[in-house]
Amino acid sequence: QQFWLRGHVPEDPVEYKEEQGTWHVYGYQEAVHVLSDTAVFSSHTNRKVPDTEEGTEGNLLQLDPPEHRKLRNLVSHAFTPKVVANLEPRIAELTHELLDAAAGRDHLELVNDLAYPLPVIVIAELLGVPSSDRELFKNWVDGMFENTQEFSLKENSADQESARKATLEETENFKRYLGEHAADRRRNPREDLLGKLVEAEVDGERLTDTQIVNFAMVLLIAGHITTTMLLGNTIVCLDNHPEQMARVRADRALVPSAIEESLRYFTPFTALARITDSEVSLAGHTIPEDEMLLIWIGAANRDPRQFTDPGTYDIGRDPNPHMAFGRGIHFCVGAPLARLEGRVALNILLDRYPTLHTDPQKPAEFLPSPYMAGVRSLPMFT
Ligand code: HEM
């Protein structure tokens, strides 16, 4: 088992790994400190990674204040809680459609049948991609993930270099497609997210097409596989804890806190990166300027100094201040959407399948990535 799944954080909440030249933060309070102090701990990590700089413009995740606030305000205008809440009936409809398509088989493959396609269709519809292009859109997204070792849901045999090239190519085609749509919205205003991003204005400034396209890419990168993992991991946790499964079946009011506890216990996005803008002291260590840090939010979510019995999966845990959606100014914009998808999908699964359980003959397969924790295949008996 990987350390973020174990019931403790390492002795020292901060560690320097010489061979990587990277600082690792495991403690909860230390993680909160780093994520809150944006003057010292910058999100602009692309400056240390070759060939990634051109994706920075419009990429919220990479921006520091004051640029971050401007773009985040623009985006929040278009990504309001009301927009998200209005999606509930459509998410329910899509969930039923996807499960109907799998009906008649003795096994449901929870990832392929539901958890992988649902979030990507929701993001496509939110952006305003025409339904006739849904397959095209999904193929690009598949292509982007399939070619990256870390996040691929399939066994990957391609060698690193050709995989990198294929990913870049898919990404360029996809960006062109999104750019054409953004340009179209300038001529023909529409009420979808792309239309709103084109219209959005803060201090008299509007987003450029490049910023809009990069933002749409960030939505997919940050919002697709993470949500796939949330859905799969929630089912894995409940299946592994039959008493908790029985509890949520008996009391559906526990569905939202079951989602939160699954995010804490089996955190999808395990580590966030930051880079120091100046020398700083953290938990007794002196970290020089321009050093990379990995903040292991999956480990922080198991910090016994913060959570009582962190290794216990308890769907009634209250309070549950987990950090699965980050903390501070970069707190996940899509959290309300991810929570909604989790709640709707879990309720429908419980409604439709009164005895949903895994098959001991066909065990779940876990992603090999250290940065993305979850299942890439989850066969279930319905
Ligand atoms: C930011 C996790 C779903 C869009 C973040 C961050 C985390 C996170 C940890 C903070 C990154 C940082 O501080 O460097 C998750 C998880 C999800 C999820 C675990 C599912 C369970 C979504 C969805 C969307 C989305 C559905 C959109 C459709 C974003 C965006 C940011 C972000 C745009 C950047 C915010 C900023 O930098 O201001 N997410 N996310 N996420 N997430 Fe999510």
Q: Given this model, what pLDDT does residue 56 score?
A: 74
Q: Which residues touch 246 (CB under 8 Å, ≥6 apart)?
A: none
| Rounded percentage of the chain residues whose pLDDT exceeds 90 | 66
pLDDT at 201 over 60: yes
The two tokens of residue 223 are 């919002």
Q: From atom 17 of ligand 1, which residue's Cα is the shortest distance away?
A: 226
Counting atoms of ligand 1 from 1, which one is nearest the CA of 339?
Answer: 21
pLDDT digits (tens, 9 = 90+) for 330-372: 999 999 999 999 999 999 999 999 999 999 999 999 988 888 8
pLDDT at 124 over 50: yes
| Rounded percentage of the chain residues whose pLDDT exceeds 70 | 91
The two tokens of residue 11 are 């002795």
CATH 1.10.630.10 fits 3-381, yes or no: yes
Q: How many CB atoms lie within 10 A of CB 351?
A: 10
Residue 325's closest CA among 31, 118, 70? 31
Q: From atom 34 of ligand 1, which residue's Cα is the shortest distance away?
A: 61
H or E segment and range at residue 144: helix 134-146
Q: From atom 21 of ligand 1, which residue's Cα is the shortest distance away?
A: 227
Counting atoms of ligand 1 from 1, which one is nearest the CA of 218?
Answer: 33
Q: Would you say 314 and 325 are in contact if contact means Cβ atoms under 8 Å apart?
A: no
Confidence of residue 163 (pLDDT cuts 50, 70, 90): confident
Average confidence (pLDDT) over 27-37: 97
Distance 226 CA to ligand 1 centre (A): 8
Distance 256 CA to ligand 1 centre (A): 18
Q: Given this model, what pLDDT does residue 7 score?
A: 47
Residue 373's closest CA among 264, 220, 229, 228? 229
Q: Given this model, what pLDDT does residue 364 score?
A: 93
Distance 42 CA to ligand 1 centre (A): 17
pLDDT digits (tens, 9 = 90+) for 255-300: 999 999 999 999 999 999 999 999 999 999 999 999 999 999 999 9
Q: Given this model, what pLDDT does residue 15 score?
A: 92
Helix (H, G, I), strand (E, B) or coil at 230: helix
Residues having CB closer than 6 A to ligand 1 are 43, 60-61, 72, 123, 218-219, 222-223, 226-227, 230, 268-269, 272, 324-326, 330, 332-334, 337-338
Helix (H, G, I), strand (E, B) or coil at 233: helix
Confidence of residue 24 (pLDDT cuts 50, 70, 90): very high
Our mutation pick for probing the ligand 1 site, out of 74, 332, 371, counting the most ligand atoms within 8 A of Cβ, is 332
Q: From atom 38 of ligand 1, which residue's Cα is the shortest distance away?
A: 330
Q: From atom 36 of ligand 1, which residue's Cα is the shortest distance away?
A: 330
Counting atoms of ligand 1 from 1, which one is nearest the CA of 63?
Answer: 37
Distance 221 CA to ligand 1 centre (A): 9
Counting atoms of ligand 1 from 1, which one is nearest the CA of 229?
Answer: 21
Confidence of residue 1 (pLDDT cuts 50, 70, 90): very low
Question: Higher model confidence: residue 164 or residue 275?
Answer: 275
Helix (H, G, I), strand (E, B) or coil at 37: coil
pLDDT at 150 over 70: no
Q: Given this model, what pLDDT does residue 154 score?
A: 57
Distance 219 CA to ligand 1 centre (A): 8
Average confidence (pLDDT) over 201-217: 85
Could you give the ipTM of this predicted complex?
0.98
Counting atoms of ligand 1 from 1, which one is nearest the CA of 123?
Answer: 28
Counting atoms of ligand 1 from 1, which one is nearest the CA of 72?
Answer: 38
Distance 57 CA to ligand 1 centre (A): 17
Q: Average model confidence (pLDDT) for the chain?
A: 89
Confidence of residue 134 (pLDDT cuts 50, 70, 90): confident
Q: What is the DSSP string of 6-25?
A: SSS--SSSEEEETTTTEEEE
Q: Which residues touch 299 (CB under 8 Å, ≥6 apart)?
A: 3, 4, 9, 10, 26, 27, 270
Q: Which residues touch 318 (CB under 8 Å, ≥6 apart)?
A: 257
Counting atoms of ligand 1 from 1, which one is nearest the CA of 331?
Answer: 10
Burial environment of residue 2 by CB neighbours within 10 A (0 to 12, 13 to 18, 19 or more): exposed
Amino acid at 243: E
Distance 17 CA to ligand 1 centre (A): 27
Question: Cα(139)–Cα(145) distance, rounded to whole angstroms?
Answer: 10
Residue 279's closest CA among 270, 268, 288? 288
pLDDT at 141 over 90: no
Average confidence (pLDDT) over 70-94: 88
pLDDT at 4 over 60: no
pLDDT at 131 over 70: yes
Q: Given this model, what pLDDT does residue 9 score?
A: 64
Q: Given this model, what pLDDT does residue 146 score?
A: 66
Average confidence (pLDDT) over 117-135: 90
Q: From atom 4 of ligand 1, which residue's Cα is the shortest distance away?
A: 334
Question: Higher model confidence: residue 178 or residue 2?
Answer: 178
